[in-house]
Structure 1
Amino acid sequence: MSGKNQQISKVTKEEALEFHRSGKPGKLEVSPIKQLATVRDLSLAYSPGVGFPCLEIEKDPDLAYEYTSKGNFVAVISNGTAVLGFGDIGALAGKPVMEGKSVLFKRFADIDSIDVEVETRDSDELINVVKNIGRTWGGINLEDIRGPECFYIEKKLQELLDIPVFHDDQHGTAIISLAAVINAAKVTGRKFSDMKMVVNGAGAAGISCYKMIRDYGLKPENCILCDQKGPIYKGRTDSMTELKEQFAVETSARTLTEALKGADLVLGLSVKGAFTQEMIKGMAPNPIVFAMANPEPEITPEEIFEVRPDAIIATGRSDYPNQVNNVMCFPFLFRGALDVRATQINQDMKMAAAEAIAKLAELAVPDEVLAAYPGRKLEFGRQYILPTPFDPRLIIEVASEVAKAAMKTGVARKKIDDIEKYKKALRSRLDPSVNAITLISESVKSNKKVCFAEGEEIESIKAAVMWRDGGHGKALLLGKRDRIDQVATENSINLSDIEIVNASEKKDDIEKYIDLLYSKLQRKGMLRSDCESLVKKDRDAFASLLLETKEVDSVICGVGRSYTNVISNVEKFSPIKKDSKLTGISILVHKNHMLFISDTANSELASSEELVQNAIQTAQFVTKMGIKPRVAFMSYSNFGSNVRKESERVANAVKILDKMKVDFEYEGEMLPSTALTKNGKDAYPFSRLTESANILIMPGLHSAAISSSLAESLGNCILIGPILSGFENSIQIVSPYAKARDIFNMALISGL
């Protein structure tokens, strides 16, 4: 392996300073999560309404979790005595780091966080301050506090407070390191308990790593801790402390070089240059070298590979493989602890986090992660023993295992009865579209056979595998067998139990397909020879025939092809249901709110009757998801306020619905602001909508496309769809650039 796979652009001083001071200075702000638009809202949020939850909390302090933000809030607390590589620069100077840590809590685990800088170097004074304000939050992350004081401060606060207190500089690094060691042992075929380990660095992180890995199962006699004076051995008097005495072992080694002779594993938590090539050369075969000093490692991977090409290497840097990065741990550890209202983060919870991280590295990497690391081969092995910090599965796997460990060990005040449901909730914290897909998947019967029409495309192949592995039913790939096999082999994909079909291989049935297609198209100007050509060469035609003959339950197509061309082609072969029309339904997801936008799919402007049919079909779709539909017909006027031809067309649709006596709420014509806000109901009290609308019927294709795209671009929303309704058989078309997850989601939707 060469050293650096992907260099990250160097950050300049000027760029970093401008980043922090531009716009609103800093990296954090406080935003209200309740509406404060009226005088009544203010009366509820503050005086006099605020008094009622105060009195309830006075009676039962645990109700602070119900009436305040405590349950999702972590404080990042520091006195600035060990900031990054700068040392003791003071609390205020360390504030940018603490703000950054708080941002990471929010970005990776949706935990609200605030930084608290305490200007003292007196340990007891810091303890007293935190003790007196600590119960404000659901947890406390101690940060950048020097050793050995950090051990005393953390231990004392854990005794004084009934919330998790966690010094990430110690335990975060230890948890990630343990995960990496578990996998490195697996990759090299070692028995974990028999490995010989050396840890260089007797600071907070070094000692914590030593204890964590030893306690996981290494034999104590095989573990050596070193400081700047060398191995910490029994009988040593130079630079010894009461803390170091706890880790003194019987050994003849008196230098780091001697300690590393025949060692299987070395962890560096010290300084640049602490390891030499000669030291690494003396280690056991397939040495495991974690050079984790920041910003520069004890020895570079390039230097290691010059003398030990058989080494497995990890560093603290993002421009090398196997980055030991605490962000893979602390947000998710706290997420699990907060969700069960844990009183502490104990050793079992830390071990559970490490094991979850280790297991995740063995699984196939999702597309969104691969896209973030172009050029890297993220496949379990020497260069990939840890997942990447941006792996969206970390929050699901780590937090859930931590929560389970907390409940098992009796430190959880709240029980999670359904872990699978909890995992779905975790995923939706970072990906709001999950709620919509979950609703759909729960409404769809399993055991469906889905045809992925562009079967030679890698994303279609991955989607088929996801369908198979998820237990949803059978997957069929349409395409040339040799090409599909080639793509699968190149990407190490197992295609067992996935059917591959090509028209040329179905010689016994080919005449049946041609006759069937000819019967459908003979009065549309098509000769039988034309139909023969279509069956053999047009994937949309052949896929539609598989649907018609009930060989598959649904078809997903469109990957790598123009959407408009595909929909035009599919319409030739796939009939529309009686009393239906082709309707496009897009789901706009913002946080936990879903809005359904209905359009005319393939016609520029819809008639009043077509708008009515759009509303009926969209309401049916939403009802199948278990959601009560509330339909609003969109226009540029509110209830006749601007009477023109276009607004009348929409108003007439409402009048038609009035005569039909449908079983869902509807109203119109109206502006989006009227349909979606409380003010709209106040201004038009006669509106039949009991709450804000969740379905918007757009007057034309252009308005639907523009509004959906605009909302997605500007409103921090996720767009799912468009989903097609109206075909007699189940067909869905994805965008040309759809990823495997998008294709898979559309396959789920096709079952509704």
Structure 2
Amino acid sequence: MNVVSARQPVRLRDSEIFAAHLGGKLSMGCTLPIDTPENLSAVYTPGVAEVSRAIAADPSLAARYTWANRLVVIVTNGSAVLGLGDVGPAAALPVMEGKAALFKRFAGLNAIPLVLDSSDIDEIVEVLVRLRPSYGAVCLEDIAAPDCFELEARARAVLDCPVLHDDQHGTAVAVLAGLRGAGTLLGRPVETSRIVVLGAGAAGSATAELLLAAGVEDVTVLDSRGILFDGREGLNPVKASLAARTNPRGLRGGPAEALHNADAVIGLCSARIPESLIATMAPGAVVFALSNPVPEIDPVIASQYAVVVGTGGSDFPNQIINTLASPGIFRGALDAGARFITTEMKLAAANAIAEIAEDTLSADRIVPHSLDPRVAPAVADAVVRAARRV
């Protein structure tokens, strides 16, 4: 059996963490020096008036002469932040600043946080519509289900730019990439694997959808009440749709029934997975325990039964994290001038991530490291190609 050993984690004292956030993590700079009267007049008045007149006459010029076309707004109301839950917009801001920093670091994209003190979907959509001239794409982040589904659908319908809920789709892309890497390593195509998704919230639902789109034949999804199956009472529309298209063997029950002889389990919930159930999985099992900060099962224990183990944290090998996906996806969508981020783009992104991992594929390296500089450019290129095939 594979034995997972923790990397030496980076341990920061509270004082170091707070010092790193002092005054926030973002700043704005100018692309031109402002050190002569000529430069000052070019950057601001009177020279800037010429550019404003040109854009007023031809609004399409804003894409060339402002930063809006390359700017991502990272939008949240703080209702589902990391593993903290509903902490509100002010407490969500440090996380949004961090995500903006990652977009710049990995994809060269300018991004700014937009934290909104509202849980009203109509209000949030209205804000995004009114601010549309200021940005080029929307990354929804840390918004609780089921509101996140409606908000994303409404924003996609009314905005003429890419919109993506990262907790859903960035996670799903990273999971599919990891499963492809594990499948290559084990000689077991992901399409013919029996895959269990624990959790039917934002990440779980999107992951199940992407697995279906990738051609996976046997996906079983569970929520807090057990296995989703067609006709189960009390399902919201998202779960009812999944129930009708998953669970081809008609399973009933809970985790025990779902995990028996399963090839892979994807933990995207806060519930614990008992060791005894991991022991009932098929030989060559894959376990992704992705909840943060506490995974659904201790990775060291899971590795006693599973050949491949992944987590959402950096303390162990195989960090399955949406940072692998979203910066490159947005870069590619903006490079392509795409109106939507499509399923085909997400599938292409997952394949690009998995292909990079093939260079050093092992049980402890089924996806590239989150700091690998090759990832975002490769994802962006794959997304551009997928966008142009539409």
1:10 corresponds to 2:11: yes
Summarize the alignment of residues 168-567 of structure 1 with structure 2, pairs less than 5 Å apart: 168-219=166-217, 222-237=218-233, 239-248=234-243, 249=247, 251-271=250-270, 273=272, 275-306=273-304, 308=305, 310-363=306-359, 379-409=360-390
Counterpart CA distance in 2 for 1:30 and 1:300 is 41
Quick one: distance in 2 between partners of 1:266 and 1:96? 31
**SS of 1:267's equivalent?**
strand
* Offset, 1:109: 1.3
Question: Separation in 1 of the partners of 2:58 and 2:282?
Answer: 59
Is 1:135–1:163's contact at 8 Å kept on the other side of the alignment? no
Q: Whole-Å Cα distance in 1 between the matches of residues 286 and 133 of structure 2?
A: 42
Counterpart residue number, 2:99: 101
After superposition, what is the alpha-carbon deviation per residue over 1:633-674, rounded to whole angstroms, capped at 9, x for unaligned? xxxxxxxxxxxxxxxxxxxxxxxxxxxxxxxxxxxxxxxxxx
Q: Could you tell me whether the CA contact under 8 Å between 1:71 and 1:341 is conserved in 2?
A: no
**Residue number among 73, 88, 91 corresponding to 2:89 in the alignment:** 91
Letter in 2 for 1:400: D
Match of residue 162 from structure 2: 164
2: CA distance, partners of 1:37 / 1:355: 47
**Equivalents in 2 of 1:191, 1:343: separation in Å?**
32
Q: Partners in 2 of 1:42 and 1:341 — Cα distance?
A: 32
Task: Report the Cα distance in structure 1 between the residues aligned to 2:315 and 2:238, rounded to whole angstroms.
Answer: 35
What TM-score does the superposition give when structure 1 sets the normalisation length? 0.50
State the Cα distance separating 1:159 from its structure 2 match. 1.2
**Given residue 330 of structure 2, which amino acid in structure 1 is its aligned partner?**
F
For 1:110 and 1:214, the matched residues in 2 are separated by 32
Asked if the contact 2:213/2:343 (under 8 Å) is kept, the reply is: no
Paired residues of 2:180 and 2:189 also in contact (CA < 8 A): no
The Cα shift of 1:160 comes to 1.0
For 1:30, give the aligned amino acid. Answer: M
Question: What is the match of residue 116 of structure 1?
Answer: 114
CA contact (8 A) 2:303 2:309 kept: no
Residue 255 of structure 1 aligns with an amino acid whose one-letter code is G
Distance 1:76 1:252 in 2: 39
Task: Tell me the residue number matched to 2:146.
Answer: 148
1:240, 1:395 → 2: CA distance?
Answer: 37
Q: Per the alignment, in what secondary structure is the counterpart of residue 244 of structure 1? A: helix
C-alpha contact (below 8 Å) 1:272/1:296 kept by paired residues: no
Q: Tell me which residue corresponds to 1:71.
A: 69
Cα displacement string for residues 98-126 of structure 1 (whole angstroms, at most 9, x for unaligned residues): 11111111111111111111110111111
Q: Indicate conservation of the 8 Å contact 2:7/2:317, yes or no.
A: no
1:135 positional shift: 3.2
Distance in 2 between the 1:241 and 1:344 partners? 25
Q: Cα offset for 1:321?
A: 1.0
Shift of 1:320: 0.9
C-alpha deviation, 1:272, in angstroms: 5.1
Q: Secondary structure at the residue paired with 1:57? A: helix
For 2:287 and 2:76, the matched residues in 1 are separated by 31
Counterpart residue number, 1:449: none
**Distance in 1 separating the partners of 2:328 and 2:189:** 28
Give me the whole-angstrom Cα distance separating, in 2, the residues matched to 1:52 and 1:341.
26
Alpha-carbon deviation of 1:11? 3.0
2:311 is aligned with what amino acid?
T
SS state at 2:242 partner: coil
Matched residue SS, 2:169: helix
Asked if the contact 1:185/1:191 (under 8 Å) is kept, the reply is yes
Contact 1:272 1:299 (C-alpha < 8 Å) held by counterparts: no
1:269 Cα shift? 0.2
Identity of counterpart residues, as a percentage? 38
Q: Which has the higher contact order (CA 8 A, sep 6+)?
A: 2
Q: Deviations over 1:206-245 (max 9, x none)?
A: 00011101110112xx2111011110112322x5212211
Code of the aligned partner of 1:287: A
The one-letter amino acid paired with 2:13 is: T
Name the CA distance, whole Å, in 2 between partners of 1:191 and 1:332.
25
Native 8 Å contact 1:174 1:205 kept in 2: yes
**CA-to-aligned-CA distance 1:349-376 (integer Å, 9 cap, x gap):** 111111000000012xxxxxxxxxxxxx
**Given that residues 170 and 205 in structure 1 are in contact (C-alpha distance below 8 angstroms), is that contact kept between their aligned partners in structure 2?**
yes
After superposition, give the CA deviation of every residue in 1:723-745 in whole Å (9 maximum; x if it has no partner). Answer: xxxxxxxxxxxxxxxxxxxxxxx
AA partner of residue 106 (structure 2): F
Provide the rounded CA distance (Å) in 2 between the counterparts of 1:300 and 1:241.
Answer: 31
Maintained 8 Å contact 1:64/1:70: yes
Question: After the TM superposition, which residues 725-740 of structure 1 pair with which residues of structure 2 at under 5 Å, given as runs?
Answer: none
Q: What is the distance in 1 between the residues matched to 2:328 and 2:202? A: 21
Contact 1:71/1:339 (<8 A) preserved: no
Alignment partners' CA distance in 1, 2:303 and 2:65? 57
Partner residue, 1:20: 21
- Map Cα deviations across residues 232-274 of structure 1 (whole Å, 9 max, x no partner): 112322x52122111114623211111111111111001152x
Counterpart Cα distance in 2 of 1:291 and 1:47: 55
**1:138 — aligned with what?**
136
Aligned-pair CA distance for 1:81 = 0.8
Question: What's the secondary structure of 1:178's corresponding residue?
Answer: helix
Q: Secondary structure at the match of 1:91?
A: helix
Runs (5+) with no aligned partner, structure 2: none
Aligned length in residues: 385
Structure 2 counterpart SS, 1:311: strand
Over the residues paired in the alignment, what is the CA RMSD in angstroms?
A: 1.5
CA distance in 2, matches of 1:36, 1:348: 44
TM-score by length of structure 2 reads 0.95
CA contact 1:266–1:290 (8 Å) conserved in 2: yes
Q: CA deviation at 1:300?
A: 1.3
Residue 340 of structure 2 aligns with an amino acid whose one-letter code is Q
- Deviation of the 1:205 alpha carbon: 0.4
